[in-house]
């Protein structure tokens, strides 16, 4: 297997949208606003031309992949290591925080916590995120304002526009504002501790639970590594390539191209390609798959070199997991 296409799963959210343009047509089987399109859930359907079976779930495919296909660093992982999503916001998300590996393992029976990165695919005017507590906020002050509206004012307010990237390590108190389409790259975890939710009802009409005790246990008052990240230019013919994040748990790069460009796949780890705009075809040896905006492809670690052949100007992200998923990184 060189290439596989991941079909998105759509998840309703009370803060979501009724239009997912320009990436998707909203599913016809839901009357609720869609907030997230999961691209690499283990239950996502996968198309693998040339492989038997050619269809299944990502979890089934991961169990069948060889060490060479997974990559030498990731061969021993029982669970697929990265969860990628598109997030569509019509309203503010809750103020929340995620645990690190150690807390998730001790208290949630999960192998990993949740460090994440957001890439802004599209943004309305004056769109924003809030990431990390302002300097001088003490743990006692944080505890006093938990669950209260003033918690928002204690967070760094970051205006964002299309093309921005924001890093959110585990333990960082954060919120996502309205009018955004984000691509979220994260450790494979869905553990979220809500701190403040604007007294908003969930889709069932009831107020959603807050998780004050857990959030206080994992929230960090200082997160200097959190916030907007500046891209580092990479040298690649026929393509504008930049790296946003290089660790501790994943690498994320952005590519923009109007002509054929080639990428080398690291044999230590598979790659996920997420197309934010454009149209064309990805080729790996004798295998090839067409792509359009909103598509996600898994590229096996043993693919060597692949070619991206745009028929329309294309922007995509490449995400790769690092082999330290089960350990917390000191400092």
Q: Which two tokens stand for residue 324?
A: 């330290």
Please give the Cα distance from 129 to 229 (Å, whole number). 13
7 in the Ramachandran plot: left (φ > 0), alpha (ψ -120 to 50) or beta?
A: beta
Token pair 């205006």 in the structure block, residue: 159
Please give the Cα distance from 308 to 262 (Å, whole number). 6
Dihedral of CA atoms 263, 265, 271, 275 in degrees, nearest 10, equals: 10
17 is a catalytic site residue:
no
**Which residue, among 219, 324, 309, has the nearest Cα to 268 in the 3D structure?**
324
With a CB cutoff of 8 Å and minimum separation 6, the contacts of 25 are none
Phi, psi (5° rounding) for residue 128? -155, 165
Please give the Cα distance from 146 to 149 (Å, whole number). 9
Separation of CA 288 from chain center? 25
Q: Strand 165-168 vs strand 227-228: parallel, antiparallel, or unpaired?
A: antiparallel
Q: Strand 250-257 vs strand 240-246: parallel, antiparallel, or unpaired?
A: antiparallel
Reported residue count of the chain is: 331
The residue from 13, 51, 194, 256 that is catalytic is 194
Token pair 């333990």 in the structure block, residue: 171
Cβ atoms of 325 and 77 closer than 8 Å: yes
Token pair 């952005």 in the structure block, residue: 254
Task: Go through 113-124 and write b for each residue having 16 or more CB atoms within 10 A of its CB, e for each that does not.
Answer: bbbbbbbbbbbe
Cβ atoms of 255 and 239 closer than 8 Å: yes
Positions marked active-site: 194
């Amino acid at each position: 297997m060189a290439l596989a296409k991941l079909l998105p799963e759509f998840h309703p959210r009370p803060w979501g949208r009724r239009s997912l343009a320009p990436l998707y047509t909203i599913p016809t089987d839901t009357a609720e606003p869609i907030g997230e399109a999961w691209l690499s859930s283990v239950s996502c359907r996968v198309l693998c031309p040339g492989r038997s079976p050619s269809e299944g779930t990502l979890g089934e495919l991961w169990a069948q992949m060889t060490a060479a296909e997974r990559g030498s660093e990731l061969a021993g992982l029982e669970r697929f290591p990265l969860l990628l999503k598109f997030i569509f916001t019509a309203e503010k998300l809750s103020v929340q925080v995620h645990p690190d590996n150690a807390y998730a393992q001790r208290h949630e029976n999960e192998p990993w916590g949740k460090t994440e990165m957001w890439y802004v695919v599209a943004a309305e005017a004056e769109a924003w995120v809030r990431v990390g507590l302002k300097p001088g906020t003490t743990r006692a002050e944080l505890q006093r304002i938990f669950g209260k509206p003033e918690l928002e004012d204690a967070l760094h307010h970051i205006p964002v526009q299309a093309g921005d990237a924001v890093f959110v390590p585990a333990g960082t108190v954060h919120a996502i504002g309205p009018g955004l389409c984000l691509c979220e790259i994260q450790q494979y975890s869905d553990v979220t501790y809500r701190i403040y939710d604007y007294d908003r009802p969930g889709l069932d009409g009831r107020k959603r639970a807050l998780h004050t005790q857990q959030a206080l246990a994992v929230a960090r008052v200082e997160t200097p590594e959190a916030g907007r990240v500046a891209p580092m230019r990479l040298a690649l013919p026929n393509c504008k390539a930049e790296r946003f994040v290089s660790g501790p748990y994943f690498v994320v790069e952005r590519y923009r191209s109007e002509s054929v460009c080639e990428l080398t796949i690291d044999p230590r780890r598979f790659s996920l390609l997420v197309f934010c705009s454009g149209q064309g075809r990805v080729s790996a040896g004798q295998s090839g798959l067409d792509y359009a905006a909103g598509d996600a492809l898994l590229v096996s670690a043993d693919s060597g070199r692949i070619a991206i052949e745009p028929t329309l100007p294309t922007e995509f992200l490449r995400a790769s997991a690092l082999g330290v998923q089960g350990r917390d990184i000191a400092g």
